Amino acid sequence: MDELAKEYLANLVRFMGPAGKILINGSWIAAGSEEPIDVHNPATGKVIAHIAAGGKAEVDLAVKAARAAFDEGPWTRITPTERSRLIWRLSDLIEANSEEFALLETLDNGKPLGAARADVATAVGHLRYNAGWPTKLTGDTIAPSSENALLMYTLREPVGVAGLIAPWNFPLVNAILKLAPALAAGCTVVLKPAEQTSLTTLRLGMLICEAGIPDGVVNIVTGYGREAGAALTEHPGVDKISFTGSTQVGRNILRAAAGDFKRVSLELGGKSPVIIFPDADLEQAIEGAAARIFGNAGQVCTANSRLYTHRDVFDRVVEGVSERAEKIKVGPGFDAGSQMGPVISREQRDRILGHIEAGVSEGATLTTGGRGIGSEGYFIEPTVFVQTKPDMSVMREEIFGPVLCAASFSEDDLDSIAREANDTVYGLSAAIWTRDLTTAHLLSRKLRAGSIRINGAGNDFALPFGGYKQSGFGRENGREGVEAFTELKSVSIGH
Ligand code: NAD
């Protein structure tokens, strides 16, 4: 473990106490009587800290604090300019402590330090992008058709108390991806980080207090999903749930939210295709395809886990991606030169290896990888399958690990290519590599996915992001991401 990371962790543990604390109404308090949760370093499997196992009682306190800060408190009364200033102030504090955040993230999540640093910069960017929104949320004036109406207009109002449930693959980024637009819209929140990776969110909570964001506006409850997460989803004081994680839990959340018609945004799983045409810049396409499945050890909701390549270039592309897979330096995130860290937990490693075993037994062929690495930590070889069939489990289920399944297409007609690419219950993202703009635009329209990325382009704070089909609904980022934390009110005035 890196020395500085050890020191930062020790500081955090000193502040939180050995069993962790939760943030309620601006105060850090001990959470109930539940056994604290062990925090593991995924690179070693060793326990490095404990966090509080918040449950129903803690969630209730947090929701009450958020409710009071919304219904009576200062947050809905302060000016949009002041909200902007506080969000920007938080971004400055994170930036000033960015190395600490990166070290804590690598320790807790396992990702290479360079990737953790990039995550912190992304989180800061999200806050700054959203800091611009409070002063720009507007309604419309409507031309009335009825004779007794003088004026009609709409107001954008914050939805109320938002429950934010984040996953473990990009812990800080995902927490802020939800927090920043919620605050910009004027909501108060209860934030529940994933139980595997709560450390950077707890540190974030300290800076939220330091930034001067009023007490009760942001409350943080650590804990298990089935307890703290479920209690938040079911709580009648919560107006909206924004969730990122598995499709299965998304389904449970939707059911629980139906009781009192909570607003829900769900960013769920994917089995996203990457489609490579023979006219593409193949070197770039190979590099891009490898990056989009082995980056973050494949633990990315938009990972392009199904590779469709035109038969004329199939062998060259598969060979290129497999060669890159073999060259990836897999190791602890703190090791200089590590390009891929461990996966998050023993359960995830076993799940992924189980998927690989199923692929082999169903008749797919490995060109590279397929095994776990070493006995310490949760490392897995970058893995590529060929001879895949559309009905194999590796082609249908989200593996959420560094496993690519390759298939060729022989058709030139875009409808059949789209049919194969769309043959999944998911619809989060799709990538296309071609130099032919007509092909790129036509195929983009035929693909049933929320984000289409052509020739290696990525995401952006300003670009709406979310899923079709079982990848969820609602959009994050951009105007839509902020408006997802608002209600629209219509006002009409007669004369
Ligand atoms: P998960 O969906 O169980 O956990 C995500 C978050 O939801 C965590 O904060 C968790 O505590 C919370 N949660 C769990 N059960 C809950 C419940 N009943 N009510 C409310 N909140 C609950 O994900 P996981 O089990 O940690 O990972 C399993 C699979 O989920 C992965 O293999 C992957 O397929 C998928 N996943 C997707 C994403 C994504 O970005 N879309 C992120 C993480 C995991």
Q: What would the pLDDT profile of 440-481 be if each residue is shown by its tens digit?
A: 999 999 999 999 999 999 889 999 999 999 999 999 999 999
As a dihedral over the C-alpha atoms of residue 199, residue 48, residue 24, residue 14, rounded to 10 degrees, the angle is: -110
**Candidate from 69-73, 353-357, 442-446 with smallest mean pLDDT:** 69-73
Say what the pLDDT of residue 250 is: 97
Query: Cα of 194 to ligand 1 centre, how many Å?
Result: 8
Q: How far apart are CA 203 and CA 99, in angstroms?
A: 12
Residue identifier of the C-alpha nearest atom 6 of ligand 1: 167
> Which atom number of ligand 1 is nearest to the Cα of residue 256?
19
Rounded average pLDDT over 7-16: 96
Q: Any catalytic annotation for residue 267?
A: yes
Please give the C-alpha separations between residue 107 and each of 36, 175, 198, in angstroms, as whole numbers: 19, 17, 11
What residue owns the CA closest to ligand 1's atom 22? Answer: 225
Residue list, ligand 1 pocket, CB within 6 Å: 165-169, 192, 194-195, 224-226, 229-230, 233, 244-246, 249, 252-253, 267-269, 301, 398, 400
Instruction: Report the nearest-CA residue for atom 10 of ligand 1.
Output: 225
100, 195, 301, 397: the active-site residue: 301
Closest approach atom of ligand 1 to CA 269: 41
Hey, whose CA ends up nearest to atom 8 of ligand 1?
194
Kindly report, residue by residue over 405-419, the tens digit of the pLDDT: 999 997 779 999 999
322-345 pLDDT, tens digit per residue, is 999 999 999 999 999 999 999 999
Q: Is the pTM here over 0.85, yes or no?
A: yes
Strand partners of residue 489: 155
pLDDT confidence of residue 192: 98
Residues 6+ apart with CB under 8 A from 468: 427, 428, 448, 449, 450
Nearest CA to 110 out of 339, 293, 403, 374 is that of 339
243 pLDDT exceeds 90?
A: yes
- With cut-offs at 50, 70 and 90, classify the pLDDT of residue 64: very high
Determine the atom of ligand 1 nearest the C-alpha atom of 401: 32
Q: Average pLDDT in the 309-319 region?
A: 97
Instruction: Name the residue among 181, 146, 147 with its Cα closest to residue 162.
Output: 181
Question: For position 249, what pLDDT does the model report?
Answer: 97
Q: Which atom of ligand 1 is nearest to the CA of 300?
A: 40
Instruction: From the candidates 234, 267, 397, 398, give the one annotated as an active-site residue.
Output: 267
In this prediction, residue 158 has a pLDDT band, given cuts at 50, 70 and 90, of very high
Nearest residue (by CA) to ligand 1, atom 44, is 245
Which amino acid, one-letter code, is at 247? T
Kindly tell me if the per-residue pLDDT of 1 is higher than 80.
no
Report the pLDDT value the prediction gives residue 410, as an integer from 0 to 100.
79
Confidence of residue 73 (pLDDT cuts 50, 70, 90): confident
Mean pLDDT taken over the chain: 97
Is residue 171 within 8 A of residue 193, CB to CB? The reply is yes
Residue 7 falls in the annotated catalytic set: no
Cα gap 178→176, rounded to integer Å: 5
350 pLDDT tier (thresholds 50, 70, 90): very high
Reply yes or no on whether the pLDDT at 33 is more than 80.
no
Q: Whose CA is nearest to atom 43 of ligand 1?
A: 245
Taking CA 263 as the corner, what is the angle to CA 261 and CA 265, rounded to the nearest 5 degrees? Answer: 135
pLDDT higher than threshold 80 for residue 127: yes
Question: Can you say how many angstroms the Cα of residue 184 is from the centroid of all Cα atoms in its chain?
Answer: 19
Centroid of ligand 1 to alpha carbon of 214 (angstroms) = 30
Which residues, at least 6 apart from 317, have a Cβ–Cβ distance to it below 8 Å? 276, 282, 285, 286, 289, 307, 309, 406
Ligand 1 center to 57 CA (angstroms) = 22
| CA atoms within 13 Å, Cβ hemisphere of 10 | 7
Nearest CA, atom 37, ligand 1? 245
For residue 267, which atom of ligand 1 is closest to its CA?
41
Q: Which of 165, 177, 403 to mutate to test the pocket of ligand 1 (most atoms within 8 A of CB)?
A: 165
User: How many A from CA of 245 to the centre of ligand 1?
Assistant: 4
Q: How far apart are the CA of 429 and the centre of ligand 1, in A?
A: 19
Pocket test for ligand 1, best of 195, 246, 344, 349 (most atoms within 8 A of CB): 246
Shortest-distance atom of ligand 1 to CA 174: 40
